[in-house]
Structure 1
Amino acid sequence: MDTLVSTDWLSRHLDDPDLVVLDCMVRTDETEAGIENRSGLEDCRRGHIPTAGFADLKGALCDQDGPVEFALPSPETFCAAMGRLGVGDASRVVLYDALMSAWAARVWWMLRWVGFDRAAILDGGLTAWTAEGRPLSTQPAAHAPKRLTPRPRPRLIADRDEVRAAIADETVRLIDTLPAASYRGEMALYGRPGHVPTAINVPGTELVDGTGRFRPLSELGAMHGFDRGQRAITYCGGGILASANAFVMTRLGFRDVAVYTASLQEWAADPSNPMTVDA
């Protein structure tokens, strides 16, 4: 199974006994207080791809007592939650959402972080599936619990100290994956405007086309035109778009990619962490 699968492939393999399909959607709403993220569980219950369970990035798949939104749980806690969804060491997993596959990419990256490499993202997600008139279901998933063994890869996650050190380290590439206006400092999505010094901008929103499918690898390669053997750290606001870029970079053959999962939620909140804006 490739790391990116089509709606046609998924339709043909839905009944495979080792395949677990997971809806990863998080709802983002604008409120008087700003942007609010909430679990997409109710949307999933109203209609999901048949056999799909729900991977709750606002619930069991995060540390809800952590210092930032979407804080990583321990590898053991994450694997236990995935096991309850029917994901075991011998499973294959297909992940999807309804928003540029960024939420699905976050779960994909977390699975990779705990040592699981048998996961794929559904290209185009739920939007592509429904646009083609494919069926939805309201039936709960019926996967038996499995054992997912944690085999952590700590280099896939970067922390604030590594990002600080990378500013002055020419061997490490920092990649801001927020929209260009945020990168330039024209808008402040996370407290302070701008970006981490020395970071380049590869917006995660530009990885997909108008249908929500990932752009061809040739186009994505041109967007990531730097040394594929170099250490690279992606970040955004909460490690979501950054995971989409990390997913793409892995498909392109980059060999040492990490996601700064706390991202600007943590970085911008501390005035001792430098930020710069374009002149």
Structure 2
Amino acid sequence: MRDPQALVDTDELSAALADPNLRIFDCTTYLDRLPPGSGQPYLAVSGRATFQEAHIPGADFLDLEGEFSDQATALHFMMPDVAQLEAAFGRHGIGMDSRVVLYSIGSMTWATRFWWMLKSLGFDNVAVLDGGFDKWRAEGRPTQSGPAQGYPPAPFKASPRPGWFVNKLDVLDAIGKADTAIVNALSPALHAGLDPSSYGRSGRIPGSLNVYGATLVNNESKTFVTLDEANAAFAAQGITKDKRVICYCGGGISATLDLFLLYQLGYTDLSLYDGSMGEWAKDMSLPIEIDG
């Protein structure tokens, strides 16, 4: 495992709750499907309400669609500029000596998205709670209710890592390159273009490979599959450590499940296409590939 501190289990987090440098965050967002013709694939709904119903003791809430996304674009969840992120993470008490643990409800993908964001900013003392809040509650561990009490503000200074986020022109340039693997984390049916896409045109970025993010998590426990199982899933698609890997999905969220495990497997040249199919499928100048 490349970074043993990047994934914590519920026992480890429970034992660390009294650590004054610990910062725990619920990162949950919900996606409500919209009717056909709405022009948007979904309505993003903050998880603040379920946070207030119950959360891990001492935790704060991070609103991805709000202060942690670029508000100047119609695309969901786009990475904002560094200054906005420095101010937002600082308001939530993340300083350079903080130990950050991220969790979400239903899927760890919201936590891995924030993990990827923080890592891209040069902040390394960050972990994802394996199994998220689902596992925590299933084990009967303590919870709190009510609004977030928050943490004292702290200075957050980013040291951005180039290439962790890429745009559509970077992806277009990478198509067909033997030293690059473009990986789609959406379902096999969406990848093949067999299901109608809510993002726009059906299909995939040409030449992309499919490692469905949901298959990298155990259905019942909500925990990650083993690294051996993850390695086998990527190897089956011909994805190897000597290649640059660009991951995408619908909105730059579930692809971070793939990226988290690729990082843990020791891949060193990893990128997230932030716009993903929410951008690509609507841009008629960009090529689309389907099966058949």
TM-score bin (small chain): over 0.9
Counterparts in 2 of 1:81-96, with a 5 A limit?
81-96=88-103
Counterparts in 2 of 1:77-156, with a 5 A limit?
77-139=84-146, 140-156=148-164
| Corresponding residue for residue 247 of structure 2 | 234
* Secondary structure in 2 matching 1:93: strand
- 1:7–1:122: 8 Å Cα contact kept in structure 2? yes
Counterparts in 2 of 1:18-33, with a 5 A limit?
18-32=21-35, 33=38
- List per-residue Cα deviations over 1:141-186 (Å, max 9, x = no partner): 3411011111011210111111001112111110000000000101
| Corresponding residue for residue 39 of structure 1 | 46
1:216 aligns to 2:226 (yes or no): yes
How far apart, CA to CA, are the structure 1 residues paired with 2:55 and 2:210?
A: 34
* Secondary structure in 2 matching 1:9: helix
- 1:178–1:201: 8 Å Cα contact kept in structure 2? yes
| Corresponding residue for residue 246 of structure 1 | 259
Amino acid in the other structure paired with 2:233? M
Q: TM-score, normalised by structure 2?
A: 0.93
- 2:179–2:242: 8 Å Cα contact kept in structure 1? no
Q: TM-score, normalised by structure 1?
A: 0.97
How far apart, CA to CA, are the structure 2 residues paired with 1:260 and 1:38?
A: 22
1:8 aligns to 2:17 (yes or no): no
| Corresponding residue for residue 185 of structure 2 | 177
Q: Percent identity?
A: 38
List runs of 5+ in structure 2 lacking aligned partners: none
Q: CA deviation at 1:100?
A: 2.1
Q: What RMSD in Å do the two structures reach over aligned CA positions?
A: 1.2
- List per-residue Cα deviations over 1:63-119 (Å, max 9, x = no partner): 122241111111121121011111011111000001220010110000011110110
How far apart, CA to CA, are the structure 2 residues paired with 1:82 and 1:15?
A: 21
How far apart, CA to CA, are the structure 1 residues paired with 2:52 and 2:15?
A: 23
- 1:182–1:189: 8 Å Cα contact kept in structure 2? no
Aligned residues: 279
Q: CA deviation at 1:15?
A: 1.2
Amino acid in the other structure paired with 1:235? Y
Amino acid in the other structure paired with 2:136? W
1:17 aligns to 2:20 (yes or no): yes
